[in-house]
Structure 1
């Protein structure tokens, strides 16, 4: 199966665990991988005005990827979606931070772009509302159905 990995917002701003970063690195070494990072631009997305906080204005992806796309808000950029579509993959594996917000938003964007989003449940972490990510995983299953684990993906690559 042709697949790619989308790494959502694994950057210092959101304090990912070392275990999460290491796990994503292992998977990214075996697949075409792109990453998104969320940077603050109040003129684009009013985080400070509406929520009283904002991501950093400068940050970097903590996992090496073939390409990194900067976004200003929850969703993925048109450029990132076009890049993934250009890879002609059968599914896009999604992992990263803020399972019930930015990761879920990535799922909607991928789905709306005609791609097949699949959440890697053990390589995601929720927001401060639910660090376990279980709320986001439940929402993902409800909306997209497709979930997997890193071990299942790696086993499929060997088989």
Structure 2
């Protein structure tokens, strides 16, 4: 059973939060976001690893882009990367999620890729679902909405 919190006490939503996720989440979207966390938790065994940008449908069809810290990607190039990945998935409404180590708090890498994803989806005229995931949960940096699990297991 997930530990549900909409936003940690005292944490204000990031700018543009009105465009982020809000309660109640669509059941299908909630399942897909849970799958993104589960896939990351079961497939990534290293304690420290670079962030990875994913575009698509978790556990079904997704494209990945490793975010290497030594490679500087500006917002315009990042938007091109997201747009190309979105187009290549062939899906009508692919999700964008960033998997990384660390706590579920806003980090520089999250903000950079959020800006790029917002630009790419705005240019395409599509609504954006963007979350950051680690091995224990996900959060939307725009609204602060999150889900965390103590021990996530596959459903039977």
* TM-score w.r.t. length of structure 1: 0.36
* Greater fraction of residues in helix: 1
- Higher relative contact order, chain-length normalized (CA < 8 Å, sep 6+): 2
* TM-score w.r.t. length of structure 2: 0.37
